Structure 1
Amino acid sequence: MTDHTAHPVGFIGLGVMGAPMAANIVRSGRRVLVHDVDAEVTARVAADIGAVPAVELSELTECSVVVLMLPTSAVVRSALLDEGGRPRVAFEGGTVFVDMSSSDPTETVETGGLLREAGLRMVDAPVSGARERAIAGTLSIMLGTDDESAADLAVPVIEAMSSAIFRTGKLGTGHAMKALNNFVAAAAFTAAAEALVAGGRFGLVPAVMVDVLNASTGQSFVTQHVMGPHIVEGAYASGFALPLFTKDVRIAERLQRAMGHTSPVCDAVAATMGDALEALGPVDHTRAHEFWSTR
């Protein structure tokens, strides 16, 4: 039996989440080759976490598992496949690509199909937990796959970055679950921010409002971990960018439409966050509260 732990792990995408995630794989004892479109980032992160820099994608072909943590499913596809849908580099047959990005599930299925035609495999395993849990290695993972043997290779790598892995079903279901989860989180965020604006104008103290919400039925992850430090105290540094959060809500919106039913709450949240994004650009998502409070 082949010992796949002897093979290095590849990691593509070394941003806010990717760098600490790759660091946790290194800490698990695996040799890790890291790659980013920015060669300077590749060199810096590799030096910081004890990984091997891979300036070219072709340097990852010795890896049996390659993790991707990129902005969109379109970027994932373009990183791996050329315009004709063929692999950009000659990965060994059976290589498993683990897309941990917040990708569009329909595009994940398409990319997975093209990889399968080339003898390669894909698992979708998006994350929840923000940067703090990426650093701690306690992310929640939603894993979808059509290939259990691919999951068998991917799971030991994923475990180095996570505290819980939820098996969601076929390929693409992980990304569907991530988008729907983030829609629910965005609905809670927009509702809580709207309440703080209204309450503040009426004379309520925002810090007291958050305390009441956290002791009452309005309590959520948002009221516990976002509203206090990042809005009431003004840190505005959750580590989750407004463009990415808005993108996830729009993925959920498209998914619901593809399922053939209306989604009035998702539509409203997508529009509200889209207004803030148009006005503010690529800022931390908590800055949206500032924008909404001026209207």
Structure 2
Amino acid sequence: MAKVAFLGLGVMGAPMAGHLAKAGHSVTVYNRTAAKASAWVGAYGGKMADTPRAAAEGADFVMACVGNDDDLRAVCTGDAGAFAGMSPGAVFVDHTTVSAQVTRELGDAARGSHLHFVDAPVSGGQAGAEGGVLSVMCGGDGDAYARAEPVIAAYAKVCRLIGPTGSGQLAKMMNQICIAGLVQGLAEALNFGEKAGLDGRAVVEVISAGAAGSWQMANRHGTMLDDQFDFGFAVDWMRKDLGICLDTADEVGAPLPVTALVDQFYKDVQAMGGGRWDTSSLIRRLRKFDD
């Protein structure tokens, strides 16, 4: 069992850290809002720390799952940052979805401090985190990944090393590009069925067994038909991720016409007051324009 620090106890981080504690690891947590860390310790045991540096001191592995590039820099760098508290040879595992640029920047900083850095964004949403069945795509040194993988296994259904530092974030971008198109297609299909007078659930029962089937269809069609959008990844966070995808696509010269269009559709959802609705709320945009 390892000594682990976990930084960030949001809807993803809290259950992920919980799985580490249940697996028998010694876990110290840090959260910007200390009340969340206190509540986590009450639920799972372990310890809480006042700073990322204090949480990371003596840890074999430091996991982070925070909001964005700036949040990640804040928990990693500076006098109170995790890098300042980590022992040489320790492994930092970043589960945040961030830009490849900040991943390379922090990877270089970690290596300069004789630390290992693995970028390991996740897919599976809040339900996957709570169930311990996340998909984890990793970038970094092979030896560091080999050390970290058995620890990550506490909350992962599948975990793979994709390539060198930054490769995990690039793989997560591919994931979000796929999801954007899938959710828009599902929203259009369900809205079409409603307008045509069909029973959407009956249709999905049939078509989900064929080539149209997807995780989004299996898990979100019912809530979309019920006009309920409090079941996972928020539109605000999706737009953050799609912005990273579009910026990186410009850098590498890959056209993303559908992704760019769906990003604008999510902007419409935000304008409707739906920034905290989950990503399947694209169907509400279609219903609004149909009214």
TM over 0.5: yes
8 A contact 1:196–1:209 mirrored in 2: no
CA shift, 1:16, in A, is: 0.6
- C-alpha offsets along residues 37-81 of structure 1, whole Å, 9 cap, x if unaligned? 000011001111222111222322111210001111331112111
Amino acid at match of 1:219: G
Letter in 2 for 1:89: A
Matching residue of 2:72: 76
Q: CA deviation at 1:94?
A: 2.1
Partner of 2:226: 233
Percent of aligned positions that are identical: 28
Q: Give the Cα–Cα distance (whole angstroms) in 2 for the partners of residues 202 and 112 of structure 1.
A: 53
In structure 2, what residue type is equivalent to 1:72? Answer: N
| From 185, 193, 200, the counterpart of 1:199 | 193
Q: Which amino acid aligns with 1:98?
A: V
Alignment of 1:164-175 (within 5 A): 164-175=158-169
Rounded to whole Å, the distance in 2 between the matches of 1:213 and 1:188 is: 14
Deviation (angstroms), 1:150: 1.8
Secondary structure of 1:115 counterpart: helix
Q: Which amino acid aligns with 2:260?
A: D
1:34–1:42 contact (8 Å) kept in structure 2 = yes
1:24, distance to aligned residue in structure 2 (A)? 0.6
The answer to whether the aligner puts 1:252 opposite 2:248 as a matched pair is no
Contact 2:183 2:282 in 1 (8 A): no
**What is the distance in 2 between the residues matched to 1:251 and 1:151?**
24
Change (3 A) 1:12 1:87: closer
| 1:218 aligned residue | 212
Amino acid at match of 1:22: A
Residues in 1 aligned to 2:205 and 2:82: alpha-carbon distance in whole angstroms: 53
**CA shift for structure 1 position 257:** 1.5
Q: Which deviates the most, 91-100 or 194-203?
A: 194-203
How far residue 88 of structure 1 moved from its aligned partner, in angstroms, is: 6.6
Q: Which moved more, 1:257-266 or 1:64-73?
A: 257-266
Moved over 3 A (4+): 86-90
One-letter code aligned to 1:152: A
Aligned to 1:289: 283
Match of 1:131 in 2: 126
Report the AA paired with residue 262 of structure 2.
Answer: V
Q: 1:87 deviation in Å?
A: 6.6
Corresponding residue of 2:262 = 269
Normalising to structure 1: TM-score of the pair?
0.90
Equivalent residues in 2 for 1:154-165, closer than 5 Å: 154-165=148-159
Distance 1:166 1:24 in 2: 19
- SS of 2:38 mapped into structure 1: helix
State the distance in 1 between where 2:176 and 2:153 align. 22
Q: Distance in 1 between matches of 2:203 and 2:235?
A: 24
Shift in CA distance, 138/88, structure 1 to aligned 2, threshold 3 Å: closer
TM-score under structure 2 length normalisation: 0.91
* SS at structure 2 position matched to 1:252: helix
Is the 2:64–2:94 contact (alpha carbons within 8 Å) kept by the matching residues of 1?
A: yes
Structure-1 separation of matches of 2:60 and 2:93? 11
Unaligned runs of at least 5 residues, structure 1: none
Q: Distance in 1 between matches of 2:53 and 2:251?
A: 36
How many pairs does the alignment contain?
286
| Cα displacement string for residues 192-231 of structure 1 (whole angstroms, at most 9, x for unaligned residues) | 1022223322322332332243133322111111112x21
Aligned 8 A contact 2:27 2:47 in 1: yes
Gap change, CA 1:87 and 1:52, over 3 Å in 2: closer
What is the rounded CA distance, in whole Å, between the counterparts of 1:213 and 1:237 in structure 2?
A: 25
Per the alignment, residue 100 of structure 1 pairs with 95
